[in-house]
Amino acid sequence: MKINHKLLVVFFIAILSLLQACSSSFDVEERNLEIKNILDNYRGNTADLRAAYKLLRPLLEKYPKNAMGFVNLCRLITKAGYIQGDEYDPGALEKAEKALDQAVALDPELFDAYYHGVFHYIRRNNLEKARQFTLKAQELRPGSAKTDLLFCELALEEDNPEEVIRRANSAIANSNDTSVLHDAYFALSKTYKKRKEYEKVVNIYRKTIEIFPDDPWNMDAYAAFLLYHMEDYDKAIEYARRALEIMDFGMARKHLGQAYYKKAATQLWEDKQYEAAAENFLSAAQYHPTANAYYGLGISYWYWGHHTRQVELLREAAKALNQALEMDPSHEQARKQLDDLQGQLTKFDT
């Protein structure tokens, strides 16, 4: 049989082109999945965002019509614009929305665009748009755990606790996706906290710490709960310290400082344990320096020095009270106590 070499060459070129196209398509999918996983597991380490950007930028340059790439871009910009609590840089949210709009325009049936779009519009306080996106997500994936989570998030915003609990538990029961579990447990904890069902909140935090042992934000959230709601200062100190061991960030330092302050105040005013109080006020001032922390430190030194007849402790008390006034010149208690203390020190110095 005579071989048509020209036809054979054309055939091999076509096969090669097809393989290259499949390879490129697979590479894009894998790259987007890699970026998605980084964003799903982001817990405040900005190096992760830089790594995601390094992967995403060439993807969008090479494939400017890749809808999933723009979903990842929306998420990346949002996370980079996070400030604290529920606060985001408004400019970042505007840019994120442009990326989201582009994703939907490129692929109006892309579930991930609507899924992450719901969270975006909730952040922008546009619940009407969030509901529209939720209904579209439900149309695309009816009965999925992620759809349950979206209805849970809407119910949380609309103050419908029974629906939050129902949808969150359904999402948890039907998903192994850690990002879904994280958000569902978080919604439950907010709901039970609002209802003052604190034992359920404690159980949720213990469960999420078991699932996410390296999440500093979750560890710190538990510390804050223990501090403000349970008034368990020793446990709050433990978990705030654990959060800081993972990552040094302002909110954990603040909560740790406040836990030390609350513990020290109890030791000073109720237990009369002046040395222990001084040690904990020192820690409070180290992690979250405030005029009140230095005032408490000054009073602890004063009482400690007075009961043990150590003049040097009285001098340390004066230094701490001076520091309190430097931080807050209107702190009348610190000013009054410092005047009294300086009068006593004058007698020792003469």
CATH code for the domain of 109: 1.25.40.10
Residue-level pLDDT at 20: 44
Q: Domain range spanning residue 113?
A: 49-142
In 3D, which of 209, 221, 288 has the Cα closest to residue 254? 288
Print the SS3 string covering 15-82.
HHHHHHHHHHHHHHHHHHHHHHHHHHCCCCCHHHHHHHHHHHHHHHHHCCCCHHHHHHHHHHHHHHCE
Q: Identify whether 77 is part of a domain.
A: yes
Q: Identify whether 75 is part of a domain.
A: yes
Number of domains present in the structure of the chain? 1
Residue-level pLDDT at 350: 54
Residue-level pLDDT at 214: 94
Q: Identify whether 200 is part of a domain.
A: no
Residue-level pLDDT at 346: 80
Count Cβ atoms below 10 Å from residue 185 Cβ, excluding itself: 20
| Residue 154: both structure tokens together | 């809407």
Burial 82-112 (b: 16+ CB within 10 A, else e): beeeeebeeebbebbbebbebbbebbeebbb
Q: Identify whether 67 is part of a domain.
A: yes
pLDDT tens, residue order, the chain (350 aa): 444 444 433 433 443 344 344 444 448 999 999 999 999 999 999 999 999 999 999 999 999 999 999 999 999 999 999 998 899 999 999 999 999 999 999 999 999 999 999 999 999 999 999 999 999 999 999 999 999 999 999 999 999 999 999 999 999 999 999 999 999 999 999 999 999 999 999 999 999 999 999 999 999 999 999 999 999 999 999 999 999 999 999 999 999 999 999 999 999 999 999 999 999 999 999 999 999 999 999 999 999 999 999 999 999 999 999 999 999 999 999 999 999 999 888 876 65
Residue type, 1: M
Q: Identify whether 224 is part of a domain.
A: no
Q: Identify whether 56 is part of a domain.
A: yes
Three-state SS at 85: coil
Q: Identify whether 339 is part of a domain.
A: no
Dist CA 78 CA 120 (whole Å): 8
Q: Identify whether 97 is part of a domain.
A: yes
Looking only at the bridges linking them, the beta strands covering 82-84 and 87-88 are antiparallel
